[in-house]
């Protein structure tokens, strides 16, 4: 994390839209209602005609989820944001708003596995073509873009942590007349604000860092009023993947500590990644912070990275010896987690992007949580010792 100016910007995002609450409560209420009533025919008619904006039914607008959306828009430097019941609901709704049968998506390789499955199954069944490119190879990206409808980005990617020059890729897409979407879940708006880099729409699995406490599954997309408005008007109400008021409330609470959590994840994960890199049992570590420099626009690094053990290390024993690190998918919460790549490679869900994109059989993905670096390193050290006996 860099200088004070970033912190000021973030603080203004986090307190954005903190209106006075009923009873002068410091925390906004959970407006747990499906519908909102009207005092008169004229009032109801005004809302239905679109002359007055106010909640009618919580599949559309709900005051609690709206606070979350306004804060995310402020944090991402976007005009508007729209929340969803999951990150995948945000991805599916966004893609299906802008891409029609007969059109083509270009996606960076190594995208989140279920986004890949959405492309390879549902999108292809609808007659949408998807081609994959190496986001580090700008010539290949420039060659793939002409004629495409949407460039789907994710940086850094969430297994091998490829960190792209997002601004340069967005420029290539703009020159080719292709709209851009990026999955910004790994960096969070604390470390990367893609709208400022020229990307059209930014989406998150809010289940990860935005929520931060592993107690909610949610998604959000942010961008211009016009583009977010199209998602709100064309797919969000009809696919119906709406965020619940209680989940919206949990996310508003989670956002309060986002910069502090990200700073702690960054420091502990970087230190552990460096120690792993110099450990004799480890062949390689994939963590963007170990490169000479971060790509332009990436201001810091989060708690998620992976590494590959040397041949002969017993990964099963390593996994079974861990105690502070739990074995589990997802990430972005307070708790530290490990996922052996061999298990992802053997995953039954099809098509299996792990095989398509070469997750190494001796790799392990770690999410470094908030338990404290000393405890976490001693856990890893003991597990590696057991695995190399």
Residues 6+ apart with CB under 8 A from 273: 285, 287, 289, 290, 305, 307
Report if residue 183 touches ligand PLP, rule: CB under 6 A. yes
What whole-number distance in Å separates Cα of residue 194 and Cα of residue 189?
Answer: 8
219 counts as binding ligand PLP under rule CB under 6 A: yes
Q: Which two tokens stand for residue 118?
A: 């959405």
Contact between 357 and 107 (Cβ < 8 Å): no
Of residues 129-168, those binding ligand PLP (CB under 6 A): 158
With CB under 6 A as the contact rule, which of the stretches 80-88, 116-124, 252-260, 318-326 interacts with ligand PLP? 80-88
Find the catalytic residue in 183, 200, 247, 379. Answer: 183
Cβ nearer to ligand PLP, comparing 268 with 339 = 339
Nearer to ligand PLP, 210 or 319 (CB): 210
Check 66, 109, 149, 208 and give the catalytic one. 208
Sign of the Cα pseudo-torsion (315, 316, 320, 321, in order): negative
The least distance separating ligand PLP from the CB of residue 115, rounded to whole angstroms, comes to 6
Asked if 328 and 369 count as a contact pair (C-beta separation under 8 A), the reply is no
In the complex, what is the shortest distance from the CB of residue 154 to ligand PLP, in angstroms, rounded to a whole number?
Answer: 6
CA dist 168 and 269 (Å) reads: 27
Q: Which is nearer to ligand PLP, 158 or 353 (CB)?
A: 158
Nearer to ligand PLP by Cβ, of 183 and 200: the residue is 183
Q: Return the sign of the alpha-carbon dihedral for residues 124, 130, 131, 135.
A: negative
**Which CB sits closer to ligand PLP, 106 or 282?**
106
CB of 50 to ligand PLP, least distance (A): 31
CA distance 158 to 10: 24
Environment class of 269 (CB within 10 Å of its CB; exposed 0-12, middle 13-18, buried 19+) = buried
Residue nearest to ligand PLP (CB): 87
Determine if 379 is a binding residue for ligand PLP (CB under 6 A).
no
| Count of residues touching ligand PLP (by CB under 6 A) | 12
CA distance 28 to 352: 42
User: Which of 6, 17, 345, 287 has its CA nearest to residue 160?
Assistant: 287
Q: Which of 9, 18, 59, 274 is catalytic?
A: 59
- How far apart are CB 219 and ligand PLP at their closest, in Å? 5
Catalytic residue among 66, 71, 109, 112: 112
Active site residue 183: yes
Between residue 81 and residue 100, which ones bind ligand PLP under the rule CB under 6 A?
A: 86-88
Residue in 71, 117, 164, 208 binding ligand PLP, rule: CB under 6 A:
208
Is 152 a catalytic site residue?
A: no
Asked whether 294 and 288 are in contact (CB, 8 A), the reply is yes
Of the candidates 93, 180, 185, 301, which one interacts with ligand PLP according to CB under 6 A?
A: 185
Structure tokens given for 78: 């976007």
Is residue 99 within 8 A of residue 231, CB to CB? The reply is no
Mode of pairing for the β-strands spanning 179-183 and 150-154: parallel
52 close to 233: Cβ distance less than 8 angstroms: no
Angle (deg, nearest 10), helices 63-76 and 245-256: 40
- Does the CA dihedral 169-175-181-184 come out positive or negative? positive
Shorter beta-carbon distance to ligand PLP: residue 91 or 179: 91
CB of 152 to ligand PLP, least distance (A): 11
How many CB atoms sit inside 10 A of residue 309's CB?
25
Supply the minimum distance, in Å, between the C-beta of residue 134 and ligand PLP: 18
**Which CB, 97 or 157, lies closer to ligand PLP?**
157
Q: Token digits for 374?
A: 């000393």
Minimum CB–partner distance for residue 90 and ligand PLP (Å): 8
| C-beta closer to ligand PLP: residue 62 or 157 | 157
- Contact pick of 64, 207, 306, 324 for ligand PLP (by CB under 6 A): 207
From 58, 205, 306, 336, residue interacting with ligand PLP (rule: CB under 6 A): 205
- The residues annotated with a catalytic role in the active site are 59, 112, 183, 208
Q: Which residues bind ligand PLP (CB under 6 A)?
A: 86-88, 112, 158, 183, 185, 205, 207-208, 217, 219
């Amino acid at each position: 994390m860099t200088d004070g100016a970033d912190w000021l910007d973030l603080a203004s995002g986090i307190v954005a839209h903190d209106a006075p609450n009923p009873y002068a409560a410091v925390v906004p209420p959970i407006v747990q209602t499906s519908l909102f009533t009207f005092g008169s025919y004229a009032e109801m008619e005004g809302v239905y005609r679109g002359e007055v904006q106010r909640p009618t039914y919580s599949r559309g607008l709900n005051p609690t989820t709206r606070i979350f959306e306004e804060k995310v828009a402020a944090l991402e430097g976007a005009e508007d944001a729209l929340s969803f019941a999951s990150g995948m609901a945000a991805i599916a709704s966004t893609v299906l708003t802008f891409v029609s049968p007969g059109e083509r998506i270009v996606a960076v390789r190594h995208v989140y596995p279920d986004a890949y499955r959405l492309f390879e199954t549902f999108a292809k069944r609808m007659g949408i073509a998807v081609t994959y490119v190496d986001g580090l190879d700008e010539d290949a990206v420039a060659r793939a873009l002409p004629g495409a409808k949407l460039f789907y980005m994710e940086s850094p990617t969430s297994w091998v942590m490829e960190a792209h020059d997002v601004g340069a890729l967005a420029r290539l897409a703009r020159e080719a007349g292709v709209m851009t979407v990026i999955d910004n879940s790994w960096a969070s708006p604390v470390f990367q604000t893609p709208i400022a880099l020229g990307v059209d729409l930014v989406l998150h699995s809010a289940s990860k860092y935005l929520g931060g406490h592993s107690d909610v599954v949610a998604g959000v997309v942010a961008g211009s009023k016009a583009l977010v408005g199209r998602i709100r008007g064309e797919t969000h109400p009809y696919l119906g993947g709406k965020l619940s008021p209680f989940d919206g409330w949990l996310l508003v609470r989670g956002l309060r500590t986002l910069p502090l959590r990200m700073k702690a994840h960054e420091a502990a994960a970087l230190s552990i990644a460096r120690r792993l890199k110099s450990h004799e049992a480890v062949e390689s570590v994939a963590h963007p912070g170990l490169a000479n420099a971060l790509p332009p626009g990436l201001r810091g690094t989060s708690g998620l990275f992976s590494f590959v053990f040397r041949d002969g290390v017993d990964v099963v024993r390593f996994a079974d010896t861990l105690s502070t690190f739990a074995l589990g998918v997802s990430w972005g919460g307070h708790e530290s987690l490990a996922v052996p790549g061999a298990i992802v490679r053997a995953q039954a869900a099809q098509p299996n992007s792990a095989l398509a994109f070469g997750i190494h059989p001796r790799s392990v993905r770690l999410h470094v949580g908030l338990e404290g670096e000393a405890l976490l390193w001693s856990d890893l050290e003991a597990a590696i010792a057991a695995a190399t006996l």
